[in-house]
Amino acid sequence: MRTAVPSITKQRRRELTEPTETVSDGTGTVPKSNAVRALGAVALIGVTTAVCVHRFRTIAAPESADRQAAFVAYLRDHLTGADAAIQVVERLADHGDTRDEPLFARLVRELREERDVVTALLATCGASEPSVKRIAGRAGGAALRLTIRARRGELALFRALEGLSAGIQGKRCLWRTGQTLEPAVRAPGRHSFAELEARAIRQWDAVDEYRRSLARITFARDNAGPRRRHPPHSG
């Protein structure tokens, strides 16, 4: 009875008969092909780890330069708004009713001081004042200034006061943002962010009170309200 002998493939025969290249691992020798595979696996693990660490850093901690650039853009937006508000109030102060001069004169002074605060904040970030947006905003504010008529009872004045009220509320948001960022960001000058916000509230109250006082003379026919028209007598 014949016993079956397992066959040996040509590839396996070649591996058994041909000499195998080896490398030393400090404790003995291992086939060179195994060493190459091990080095490849280590390299793959290293690359994968590096990619994961980079992505984690990007997600968990955005670059500080990006955050500062965003803050600079935010400040420049408010600087552009301050320029426009000052031009509007200067127009109202120069061509308005003499009874309104104290209100507008105070607003002009305070708005200029607050614009200096924003300018100083930009300087602490290493940023300059000029920007394309600000130049365009000044041009737009100059054009708007020419269209404002400050006489009581005119719709243009009422609209200007509403726009100014909205701008003051936006400025208040800036001061509240500053309070949130303290102590990393400090208000330059003699006023804190909380004091600047309190001033913005007073400004809004004064402007809105004046705006509401003009509602009747701007939109109502007279103090008694619209007159009734009587039908003609017949006969």
Please write the tens of the pLDDT for every residue from 59-101. Answer: 444 567 789 999 999 999 999 999 999 998 988 887 666 778 8
What pLDDT is recorded for position 20? 52
The SS3 of residue 188 is coil
Q: Domain 64-219 classified CATH 1.10.10?
A: no
What pLDDT is recorded for position 94? 79
What pLDDT is recorded for position 4? 53
Which residues, given as ranges, of the chain have pLDDT below 70? 1-63, 95-97, 129-150, 222-235
Alpha helices (H) in 96-225, listed in sequence order: 101-124, 132-147, 155-181, 193-213, 215-219
Q: Tell me how far apart the alpha carbons of residues 107 and 167 are, in angstroms, rounded to a whole number.
A: 12
What pLDDT is recorded for position 53? 42
What pLDDT is recorded for position 154? 87
What pLDDT is recorded for position 93? 83
What pLDDT is recorded for position 27? 52
Tell me the pTM.
0.63
With residue 23 as reference, give the H or E element that holds it. strand 22-24
What pLDDT is recorded for position 203? 97
Q: 104 and 89 in contact (C-beta within 8 Å)?
A: yes
What pLDDT is recorded for position 180? 97
Q: Tell me how far apart the alpha carbons of residues 27 and 64 are, in angstroms, rounded to a whole number.
A: 50
What pLDDT is recorded for position 147? 56
With residue 78 as reference, give the H or E element that holds it. helix 64-95
